[in-house]
Structure 1
Amino acid sequence: MPSPIFSDQAYYTKAFNYFTSVGNYFEAVQKWAEETFYEHVVEKLVGNISDGTDDKPLRVLGVGSGRGELELVFLKKLLLKFPQIHTCVVEPCVNLITQYQHDQSKIKEHASDITYDWQNRTFEDFVKLQPENNHKYHFISACNSMYYVKNLNETLQSLYDMLVPGGILLVTITADYTGAGKLWRTFPCLGSETSSQDGLPNIASPSSHHRDSAHVHDALCQLQIPYYTDDYTCNYKITQCFDEKESEEGNLVLDFLTHMIGFRNAPKDLLQQVLACIKECSVQRSDDWFFQSEHVCFFITKPT
């Protein structure tokens, strides 16, 4: 059986970068932020906590921030109503946080209005270092990071506790009924192995990175934390996966979707079944196939 993609940080980064390059993920998030984020987060924060930020910066926490593409979009929107922002960035991969530090220049016109606290560590380690009842935040984003935490319930409770009254927590994760969520539920063996590579978040159990929207829903219900949801859909051109002639590009796409290195060398029956499932999660346009992956956005507001 091929090895899990988390066992090789360099290859994971290469596959991730190529996969995102053939999709509209960041364009979809930008559109979603324009149409939904401003209404459901920015405007509600203005009504909930604006009086408490008149002379102080809005406090923002990013969990698993990666290269910061999403958070930079959010910060631009928040700056429209909150002229000063202090953001704490929690990201365990040193390469990604370094790139975030570099890419923040994309909003350099507002650089004097944003201050940063860079935390190159896992969220679990970040929580251990925080004094009790300290460091409360007005807005927390945890986008595509719940795959990697050790205990989902504990993490969600910790994030909720870190909100000020009226603060908002945003959690995004792949939907259980489409795209990667459907693929991983159909084949739970994909990518199964605990990661211990430096710079990568530790995976608590073989299936923890297979978490999807249903797991977050169940955890929030168990914790009795109310929420409401929205969603957005991304498309990725994966025609190379089905080419008869093997290519590096096709292998990168297939390996990222399956979270396995060299999945083309998997047992033939499994390979064919996985390719068939990927095709079921895709739509055909002319001669190309586009993998459709829906992301569910959980909005959680702490009562005032």
Structure 2
Amino acid sequence: MASPLKSLITDSDRYMASFKRYKECSIVYQGMQEFMDNLLPDLLPSIVKGKSQLNVLGVGSGTGDVDLQLFSTLHQNYPHVTVDNEVVEPDPQPLRIYRDLVSQTPGLDYIQFHWNEMTLQEFQKQWKEKKINKKMDLIHMFQVLYYVVDLEGVISFYQSLLNKNGKLLITLASCDSGSVRMREAYKNQLCPGETNPSTGKIKKLLDSKGVSYKSYILPSDLDITDIFTEGDENGEMLLDFLTNSYHFGKTASPELKAGVMKFLRRPDCSVESDGKVTLKINFELLVLDQLI
């Protein structure tokens, strides 16, 4: 029997509201900022060496928060370098927010933006059909591989776009994260279509192909206390985001909802202290070099 659940990504307004709530309750951007401040500067010298311009590709850039963090770090360290930036984002709402953010942020004249309202698969198809030979110095894919069936094909394609000394950055939740454990346990009852990959699956794929990579852990615990307050709208939006379901609390069966909420409180998924429930999530960033 088909699941009564509808994917959250089918309703852009609800998705954006749920994502906003997730960002408010998570330290993911704190972990990302630590990466930008402490780790990215170590990666940049080999990428920038001998160049006055970098070609950058952001896949699934959303509202541009991470992109502009990255460019800020780059510009602080290499103020002479300009950026040619391809933005790939299928949802028009966050893409509009990104464009507005760019227009309202001073000092971005060193960046040229190219806006591509399409999925990463559509971008890949267009790139091949037009036989574009432009190479990228930096490609970042932050939390965007959740709906990709052909992981090997997609990763190989984007890795093939790298220039010499270019880097591909892939960020997903690690396999020991509470959210990944829950979705794996209920994958047959939640919305179809999401492949729920973790970096564990990607590393296994890369290892099988003999592809080298570097790995960095970005802590990203999430306060899910509101989920357990019946009728709390903030909690409902968090639950939507974690299950990738549109109004999960209203459309899931009572048994599924109870099972998911009980699973999220398991000791291997979350920590409870002083009335607060914190979901244990680690994001892992993988750095890949040019495909040889």
TM-score, normalising length: structure 2: 0.89
Query: CA–CA distance in 2 between the matches of 1:268 and 1:149?
Result: 30
Deviations 1:139-197 (A, max 9, x none): 1101111113342111101111100111111000111111221111121135423xxxx
Higher mean C-alpha displacement, 140-149 vs 23-32: 23-32
Match of 2:179 in 1: 180
What do residues 70-99 of structure 1 show as CA deviations (whole Å, max 9, x unaligned)? 111111112222521111111111111111
Task: Answer yes or no: is 1:263 the counterpart of 2:248.
Answer: yes
Q: Give the whole-Å Cα distance in 1 for the aligned partners of 2:133 and 2:189.
A: 40
Deviation at 1:117?
1.1
For residues 186-242 of structure 1, give each alpha carbon's deviation from its aligned partner in whole angstroms, at most 9, with x where no partner exists.
21135423xxxxxxxxxxxx342x111122113323443211211111122211111
Q: Which of these residues, 96, 99, 106, is aligned with residue 98 of structure 1?
A: 96
Output one character per residue of 1:18-39: Cα deviation in whole Å (capped at 9) or x when no partner: 2222222222211221122222
What RMSD over aligned residues (CA atoms) do the two structures have, in Å?
A: 2.0
Are positions 1:77 and 2:73 aligned together?
Answer: yes
Q: For the Cα contact (< 8 Å) 1:72–1:107, is it kept in 2?
A: no
C-alpha deviation, 1:272, in angstroms: 2.4
Residue pair 1:153, 1:223 contacting (<8 A) in 2 also: no
Out of 226, 232, 235, which is 2:221 matched to?
Answer: 235
Structure 2, unpaired ranges of 5+: none
Larger deviation: 182-191 or 57-66? 182-191
Evaluate the alpha carbon distance shift between residue 226 and residue 132 of structure 1 in structure 2; reply closer, same or farther with a 3 A threshold. farther
Please, which of 11, 17, 23 is the counterpart of residue 14 of structure 1? 17
Contact 2:27 2:219 in 1 (8 A): no
- Contact 1:2 1:263 (8 Å CA) reproduced: yes
Query: Match for 1:248: what amino acid?
Result: E
* Matched-pair contact (CA < 8 Å) for 1:156–1:220: no
Match of 1:153 in 2: 152
- Structure 1 position 11, deviation (Å): 1.6
1:25 corresponds to 2:4: no
Tell me what 1:119 maps to. 116
Deviation larger for 66-75 or 129-138: 129-138
The answer on whether the counterparts of 2:47 and 2:165 sit within 8 Å (CA) in structure 1 is yes
Letter of the 1:42 partner, please give it. Answer: L
Q: Describe how 1:123-134 pairs up with structure 2 within 5 A.
A: 123-130=120-127, 131-132=130-131, 134=133
Please tell me the residue identity of whatever aligns with 1:28.
G
Corresponding letter in the other structure for 2:203:
H
Q: CA deviation at 1:303?
A: 7.1
* 1:285 equivalent in alignment to 2:285: no
Task: Identify the residue that residue 45 of structure 2 maps to in structure 1.
Answer: 43
User: How many residue pairs align between the two structures?
Assistant: 282
Distance 1:14 1:297 in 2: 25
Residue identity opposite 2:167 in structure 1? I
1:253 to 238, 244, 253: 238
1:144 is aligned to 2:143: yes
Counterpart-to-counterpart distance in 2, 1:84 and 1:242: 48
Aligned to 2:220, what secondary structure does the other structure show? strand
Residues 238 and 220 of structure 1: CA distance in aligned 2, closer, same or farther (over 3 Å): same
For residues 235 and 32 of structure 2, what CA distance do their matches in structure 1 show?
Answer: 25
Q: Identity of aligned pairs, percent?
A: 21
